C-alpha cells in the first residue's frame, strides 16, 4: 500500500466514525477546538466539490503549502477526495 492509498483509506475510516472526535486543535489562550469525524468529512467534501467546480481534474498534481493547522488537514483530505 503506497502513501496515497493509505491517506485515502484514512479518509474512509474517518467517515465511518462520524460521531467520534477526529481532530483537536489548541488555539491561543489554551482554547480547544474539536471536530467530529462527520464535521471533518463534510467540510473536506464541500471543499473537494468546490475544487472540482473550479476546474480541478482527477489526477492533477497539487502542492499544499501551509502552516500545520486543521485547515491543512481539511485541504489535504479534500484534495484526495477530488482525486488529485
Residue 39 makes CB contacts below 8 A (sequence gap 6+) with 22
How many whole angstroms separate alpha carbon 23 and alpha carbon 73?
9
Q: What is the pLDDT of residue 17?
A: 67
Among 14, 9, 79, residue whose Cα is nearest residue 45? 79
pTM (two decimals): 0.75
Q: Which residues of the chain have pLDDT under 50?
A: none
pLDDT of residue 2: 54
Whole-number pLDDT of residue 59: 92
pLDDT recorded at residue 27 = 73
Q: Residue 45 and residue 75: Cα distance in Å, rounded?
A: 10
Amino acid at each position: 500500500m503506497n502513501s496515497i492509498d493509505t491517506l485515502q483509506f484514512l479518509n474512509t475510516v474517518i467517515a465511518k466514525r462520524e460521531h467520534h472526535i477526529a481532530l483537536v486543535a489548541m488555539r491561543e489562550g489554551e482554547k480547544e477546538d474539536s471536530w467530529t469525524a462527520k464535521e471533518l468529512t463534510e467540510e473536506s467534501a464541500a471543499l473537494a466539490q468546490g475544487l472540482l467546480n473550479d476546474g480541478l481534474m482527477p489526477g492533477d498534481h497539487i502542492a499544499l503549502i501551509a502552516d500545520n493547522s486543521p485547515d491543512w488537514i481539511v485541504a489535504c483530505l479534500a484534495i484526495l477526495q477530488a482525486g488529485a
